[in-house]
Amino acid sequence: MLTTRQDCQRLDDEDPLAALRELFAMPAGVLYFDGNSLGAQPAATSARVQQVVASEWGQELVRGWNTADWIDLPQRVGDKIARLVGAGAGELVAVDSTSVNLFKVLSVALNFARTDAPGRNVILSERHNFPTDLYIAESLARERGLVLQLVDSGEIRAHLTDRVAVLMLTHVNYRDGRMHAMAEINRVAHAAGALVVWDLAHSAGALPVDLKAGGLSDEAADFAVGCGYKYLNGGPGAPAFVWAHPEHTARMDAQQLGQPLSGWLGHAAPFEFAPAYRPGVGIARFICGTPPIISLAALECGVDTVLAAEPLGGLPALRRKSLALSELFILLADARCHGRGLVLRTPRDPRLRGSQVSFAHEDGAGAIMQALVARNVIGDFRAPDVLRFGITPPYMRYTDVWDAVEHLRQVLDSGEWRADRFSRLKAVT
């Protein structure tokens, strides 16, 4: 157990990943624990966006699609993200939002599953999955006359029956940070005849992900989507990404199948301007409309900050530091905030933990978080009672954890969170 702040400072001094912090424009005096909601700004982003605006767009105008290679940005950035999630080059594209991409892949997965086994009419998911995922699934179930079945995390395997067409899960739960065993769940689902769609919003860039399971087909995922503005540091509203297993895109190629949002840039030859749709090859068919070039340029800067860890041990090294930081947070909170109403929601078992620490506080989690934010300790609140602290190893220090827990102790001990100004939640919590 680390007993002093000096112990934490020693760990910072010895941290082999410490240099990565210099890649970010971190504001002075802020302890940032919300990278699982919005990643910090990379130091390179401002100049890169200015280059796109002033030079590529400002001087090249429409020629930028060719001279600055804008048209290939979704694939170029996608190939970089692919390196972080166990996918191959040409298998993943950075496009649209997580919700839109989920609609695409869930639609295709349902088409495949029900074509192969028409009697399957259930989309199975976790009761506490991220709401947008459930809303998209709910709309598709309603439109197609299917059943959306929601169960608790521990009940998933028991409900994988021959009625399930698609299992849809988020790899790391947004509320409590619990991580699913992806390969194991894929194997069980496939044995039951279901396809699996994964949301990687809270894992891509934070921990090792292997969508293709090292080539073991029964343990590989079928489809995946993910977010660009959390651990990938792409900026607010950054484009998301979408991946489909090459076996599925090959089947789509062979049968000339598109996806439901068949926009012009997903066409096999968009600048032929043909009146009838002909899907592009492979993952390219999942592109829909014109890509947001400025946002994609910012996202590429963010992805590069994660890839910068490769010479230092890559995602395994980031994962080791993440677990060390989250373990420190839990141990310090246990020791210094005991008896003050906090209940740990994040698994103590590191094998089940993503890259965040969550506590429940039944009396005033939202007010407590607002009191912390007023002290420049920035985490977030998730209704009805969860305080979330994201763990982002590229720019987080051990001393940050020590200081954050000390602020948390002071807020709880002083009761300052009970002040009226903290009782009124802001529009974004």
Choosing from 34, 79, 133, 199, which is the catalytic residue?
Answer: 199
Distance separating alpha carbons of residues 195 and 312, to the nearest angstrom: 36
Instruction: Identify the CATH assignment for 69-303 out of 3.40.1010.10, 3.30.450.40, 3.40.640.10, 3.50.50.60.
Output: 3.40.640.10
In the predicted structure, residue 2 carries a pLDDT above the cut 80: no
Choosing from 103, 229, 329, 398, which is the catalytic residue?
Answer: 229
- Contact, 17 vs 392, CB < 8 A? no
Question: Domain coordinates of the chain in residue numbers?
Answer: 5-41+314-423, 69-303
Running DSSP on this structure, what letter comes out for residue 272?
G
Q: What mean pLDDT is predicted for residues 107-125?
A: 94
Residue 130: active-site member = yes
1: confidence class by pLDDT, cuts 50, 70, 90: low
Running DSSP on this structure, what letter comes out for residue 243?
E
- Contact, 343 vs 359, CB < 8 A? yes
Q: Which strand (E) or helix (H) includes residue 92? A: strand 92-94
Phi, psi of 151 (to 5 degrees): -135, 165
Residue 199: active-site member = yes
pLDDT digits (tens, 9 = 90+) for 200-228: 999 999 999 999 998 878 999 999 999 99
Q: Could you say which architecture CATH assigns to the domain 5-41+314-423?
A: Alpha-Beta Complex (3.90)
- Contact, 256 vs 278, CB < 8 A? yes
Residue 230: active-site member = yes
Choosing from 24, 32, 130, 223, which is the catalytic residue?
Answer: 130
Distance separating alpha carbons of residues 170 and 224, to the nearest angstrom: 9
pLDDT digits (tens, 9 = 90+) for 379-397: 999 999 999 999 999 999 9
Of all residues in the chain, the percent with pLDDT exceeding 90 is 94
**Given CA atoms 227, 204, 389, 186 in this order, what sign does their dihedral have?**
positive
Choosing from 104, 187, 212, 230, which is the catalytic residue?
Answer: 230
Choosing from 175, 321, 388, 397, which is the catalytic residue?
Answer: 388
pLDDT digits (tens, 9 = 90+) for 67-79: 999 999 999 999 9
Half-sphere exposure of 114 (CA within 13 A, CB side): 16
